Chains A and B, each alone.
Chain A
Amino acid sequence: MQTRTGRRMLGLSVAALTAATMLTTATSAAYAQSVDLSKWSPEYVKSIAGTKQFDAAKDCGAVVPNDYTGRVSYWYTGPFEADPQIAHDMDKAFWDAFHAAYPNITTDVQSITYNELLDKFRTALLGNAAPMVIRLQILGGVEFAAKGYLQPLKPEDVGYTAADFWPGALKSVTYEGTSYGLPTNNETMALIWNAKVFKDAGLDPENPPKTWDDVVAYSKQIHEKLGIPGYGLVAKQNAGNTPFRFMPMMWAYGGGALDEASADPSYKTVEINNAGSKAALQAAYQMYAVDKSAPTSALTNTQGENQAPFIAGKLGMMIAHPAEYAKMTDLASKATGADKAVADDVVANMRYGLLPTGPDGKRAVVFGGSNIHVVKPEFVEGGKSDEQAVKALICFWDSPEWSTKLAWVGSNPGNINGFMTDAMKQRLETIKFLDVTTSMLPNGIPFPVIPEAPEIMNIIVPDMMQNALTGAMTVDQAADDAAKKVEAIVAGGGGI
């Protein structure tokens, strides 16, 4: 009797699995290859926006039936007080839509600040009190994948295909050949400059520097003519801001921390002291120590400290997020008196451009964003995870429509089909320079997807810069010293 029941259950499972696979394939096929990444440009981004309709409830209903009854717990960094109202509205609209699509799935959701999320998650995992699903910053997940806390998760598990996501983003969730999450949103930075400062310094106000060598020259010219810093270098110790702004330069010159900039990185080759890396460090040294055309305060500055001089018209150019324009507009709106006129003038003269290239024409930028992950049941509070409810949530969150709306303010949809939605069209119409910042995405390179990446990027790279810029070491010595540290870390050791 038990055997017969078992066989029947097995048969039903196989049938269900087959049906689910077919549905998944059908759904995936509908999305795959809809966006042609080879044509990517500001014009292409505009041309495909608003050309396709998606129905998240229906599409995800094919992955997990809409009448499914269950429960899912979820941690993420949602909108907080300082975020614009539209971010709050979209967040609320998402949960309303999810509950309408899946009325029988109850949700236990916690919004945790960016700075607290990782530590809280680490602590929860040690106490087996983690949520079923978590969304982390782009490289936050690799540490947990390496430590065995995360469930393998690939696009096909929730009704999508690899073609629905940026290849660089998928790289960021792949650890030792296995996929442990899905990208929810991705963004890249761009070069921002003040056209008036360029003009006053005798530079072409509408054309940014094409190469990083040009940046060094432009920065020097601005400083010599106007007496203000030309390029907003950021080199603070122990700060994520520093590698986000220096690695694009390093990659463009043909360098890297490891071989993360190559097409098929092994993360075993140390490149932080190769000729390209040293050339990038030399360029930074030239601006900071020789020309003195970068802010003296660069060693204690994060990007936040560059905003004030930029809005005051005292900084020529810098690397910043897509949301920087909104931030500058906000700062200008709060300015008063004579400052107000200056700030408004800066906003009117603000320009966005692609990041410069290296001497060989290579353009690169850090691939930023967030990924969604599934925690293994044994580490989840209560020791159980509801697989179907988990899939429903991830499918819904990563749908073209919601992946776009939830990234409204400062990012872009992780699901690239989101670029075809009406929501994307609205964003392009309302967010200035979004077309430029999105067009950097194909140049995106994720940091090395190894658990040691935060130490390499946030500690060793800034240390190397500080050692060189302060003159504590020569450029060569600083790069070689950093290489020794990276080698020790990759080998599983490392000093203090």
Chain B
Amino acid sequence: MWNSRTDYLYVAPAIFVMLIVIGYPIYYTIELSFFNTPASLSLADKTFNGLDNYVTILTSPIFWKVTWQTVVWTTLSTFFAFVLGLGAALALNREFAGRGFLRGLLLIPWVVSAVAASYVWKWLYHSDFGVIGALMVQFGLTDHPINFIDNTTTSLYALIVVNVWKEFSFAMIMLMAGLQTVPDSLLRAAQVDGASAWQRFWHVTFPHLAGVSTVTVLLLAVQNFNSFIIPWVMTSGGPAGSSDIWITHIYQIAFGRQRWGVGAAYAVILFIVMMVLGYFYVRALTKGDESRAGA
């Protein structure tokens, strides 16, 4: 018993700090989500309005439009970052000259500041003077520079390309680590048995990557749900809201429009989604532990 109490004492400072820096903001956000906070009142004078903020959000067509865009953004970004990362990891898992250099090169997008990268891509895409548009015109592919980010149809997808470029290296690193766990003996045995490259990948390599793939996909999905910098810097959610996703919409409502109550309610909805993803993430992480404990 005493030993147990001492254990609690050891972790108490950390728990205390976490309660203050994590627990209180969560509590306050949830509390604020039940209040009306008009621009003319200070937060101290906020008025309780029950579930009105949630009703306002969930009954707004804009919310559902932004939700769909968030789903598209998260799904496509996660899928393509994972697939590209997997391809790069498999390629770099082989021995060849310049492998180290190439690995370093592919890591650059992940290392570069997201703000700086967003500005660079904004200028690459620039609808009047962008490098991509100029090259396409120069090579005779189009008559005029293509309008990537000033167009309601293409803006979200243009941002997804930037996002995938920025984070596929993360998937690559995770999967490269996973590839180290694939036993060479199994691959060799499969080769001796006449398995093709695809069969070796699908029946030997990929099953060994299942755990790390699940974790990678979940981490990418969480990161993408919360991805703020690229859409905000490049388009601020525009044009006409076509690249708004939850997190940029929340920011705009809370900080652009000073609607703290509605912004908090929106953040709580996002928090619930993140908690669900977090649950699966933790479950994926602890799956191996449980099976080992069971054994």
A298 vs B41: C-alpha distance when bound (angstroms): 35
B235 with A237: CB separation less than 8 A: yes
Contact of A296 among B63, B128, B257 (CB under 8 A): B128
Contact of B128 among A309, A458, A496 (CB under 8 A): A309
B39 with A463: CB separation less than 8 A: no
Chain B residues contacting A148 (CB-CB under 8 Å) are 42
B256 with A238: CB separation less than 8 A: yes
Contact of B237 among A146, A238, A451 (CB under 8 A): A238
Q: How distant is A122 from chain B, measured CB to nearest CB, in Å?
A: 9
Residue B239 at the chain A interface, CB threshold 8 Å: yes
Q: How distant is B66 from chain A, measured CB to nearest CB, in Å?
A: 9
Q: Mark out the residues of chain B between 239 and 284 whose CB falls within 8 Å of any chain A CB in the assembled complex.
A: 239-242, 249, 252-253, 255-259, 262, 266
Chain A residues contacting B166 (CB-CB under 8 Å) are none
Residue A335 at the chain B interface, CB threshold 8 Å: no
A125 vs B252: C-alpha distance when bound (angstroms): 22
Task: Tell which of B96-104, B144-152, B189-197, B211-219 binds the partner.
Answer: B144-152
Contact of A496 among B44, B56, B150, B235 (CB under 8 A): B56
A496 and B127 contact, Cβ closer than 8 Å, known pairs A143-B258, A454-B256: no
Residue A297 at the chain B interface, CB threshold 8 Å: yes
A495 with B60: CB separation less than 8 A: yes
Residue A67 at the chain B interface, CB threshold 8 Å: no
Residue B115 at the chain A interface, CB threshold 8 Å: no
A237 vs B236: C-alpha distance when bound (angstroms): 6
The closest CB in chain B to the CB of A239 belongs to B236
Residue A452 at the chain B interface, CB threshold 8 Å: yes
B257 with A298: CB separation less than 8 A: no
Chain A interface residue number, banded: 35 or more
Q: Mark out the residues of chain B between 14 and 47 whose CB falls within 8 Å of any chain A CB in the assembled complex.
A: 38-45
Q: How distant is B254 from chain A, measured CB to nearest CB, in Å?
A: 11
Residue A229 at the chain B interface, CB threshold 8 Å: yes
Q: How distant is B230 from chain A, measured CB to nearest CB, in Å?
A: 13
A296 vs B149: C-alpha distance when bound (angstroms): 10
A469 vs B45: C-alpha distance when bound (angstroms): 40
Residue B86 at the chain A interface, CB threshold 8 Å: no
Contact of A314 among B127, B129, B240 (CB under 8 A): B129
A78 vs B209: C-alpha distance when bound (angstroms): 55
Q: How distant is B46 from chain A, measured CB to nearest CB, in Å?
A: 11
Chain B residues contacting A147 (CB-CB under 8 Å) are 40-42, 45
A300 with B129: CB separation less than 8 A: no
B63 with A300: CB separation less than 8 A: no
A455 and B262 contact, Cβ closer than 8 Å, known pairs A295-B127, A496-B63: no
The closest CB in chain B to the CB of A228 belongs to B128
A149 and B127 contact, Cβ closer than 8 Å, known pairs A237-B241, A238-B252, A238-B256: no
Contact of B252 among A298, A459, A470 (CB under 8 A): A459
Q: Mark out the residues of chain B between 216 and 240 whose CB falls within 8 Å of any chain A CB in the assembled complex.
A: 234-240
Residue A299 at the chain B interface, CB threshold 8 Å: yes
Residue A472 at the chain B interface, CB threshold 8 Å: yes
A299 vs B236: C-alpha distance when bound (angstroms): 10
A236 vs B237: C-alpha distance when bound (angstroms): 10
B239 with A146: CB separation less than 8 A: no
Residue A308 at the chain B interface, CB threshold 8 Å: yes
A470 with B60: CB separation less than 8 A: no
Q: Mark out the residues of chain B between 79 and 127 whose CB falls within 8 Å of any chain A CB in the assembled complex.
A: 122, 126-127
Q: Mark out the residues of chain A between 445 and 488 whose CB falls within 8 Å of any chain B CB in the assembled complex.
A: 450-452, 454-455, 458-459, 462-463, 466-467, 469-470, 472
The closest CB in chain B to the CB of A458 belongs to B256
Residue B141 at the chain A interface, CB threshold 8 Å: no
Contact of B62 among A296, A314, A450, A496 (CB under 8 A): A496
Chain A residues contacting B237 (CB-CB under 8 Å) are 237-238
The closest CB in chain A to the CB of B133 belongs to A296
Residue A6 at the chain B interface, CB threshold 8 Å: no
Residue A126 at the chain B interface, CB threshold 8 Å: yes
Residue B57 at the chain A interface, CB threshold 8 Å: yes
A33 vs B39: C-alpha distance when bound (angstroms): 37
Contact of A463 among B41, B127, B240, B249 (CB under 8 A): B240
A495 with B240: CB separation less than 8 A: no
A455 and B257 contact, Cβ closer than 8 Å, known pairs A146-B40, A463-B240: yes
Q: How distant is B77 from chain A, measured CB to nearest CB, in Å?
A: 20
Q: How distant is A104 from chain B, measured CB to nearest CB, in Å?
A: 35
Chain A residues contacting B129 (CB-CB under 8 Å) are 297, 308-309, 314
The closest CB in chain B to the CB of A466 belongs to B240
Contact of B150 among A299, A450, A454, A495 (CB under 8 A): A299
- Identify the interface centre among B44, B62, B240: most chain A CB within 10 Å of its CB: B240
A236 and B236 contact, Cβ closer than 8 Å, known pairs A126-B43, A297-B150, A463-B241: yes
Contact of A492 among B38, B147, B151 (CB under 8 A): B38
B150 with A298: CB separation less than 8 A: yes
The closest CB in chain A to the CB of B257 belongs to A455
Contact of B249 among A126, A309, A496 (CB under 8 A): A496
A455 and B39 contact, Cβ closer than 8 Å, known pairs A296-B147, A300-B122, A472-B152: yes
Given contacts A237-B238, A300-B234, A450-B40, 8 further A-B contacts (CB under 8 A): A146-B41, A237-B239, A238-B237, A299-B238, A300-B239, A455-B39, A459-B252, A470-B152
By Cβ-Cβ distance, the 3 closest A-B pairs, closest first, are: A237-B238, A296-B127, A147-B42
22 contacts between A and B (CB under 8 A): A146-B39, A147-B41, A237-B237, A237-B238, A238-B236, A238-B237, A238-B256, A295-B127, A296-B147, A297-B128, A300-B127, A300-B235, A309-B128, A451-B258, A452-B40, A463-B241, A466-B239, A494-B259, A495-B56, A496-B60, A496-B259, A496-B262
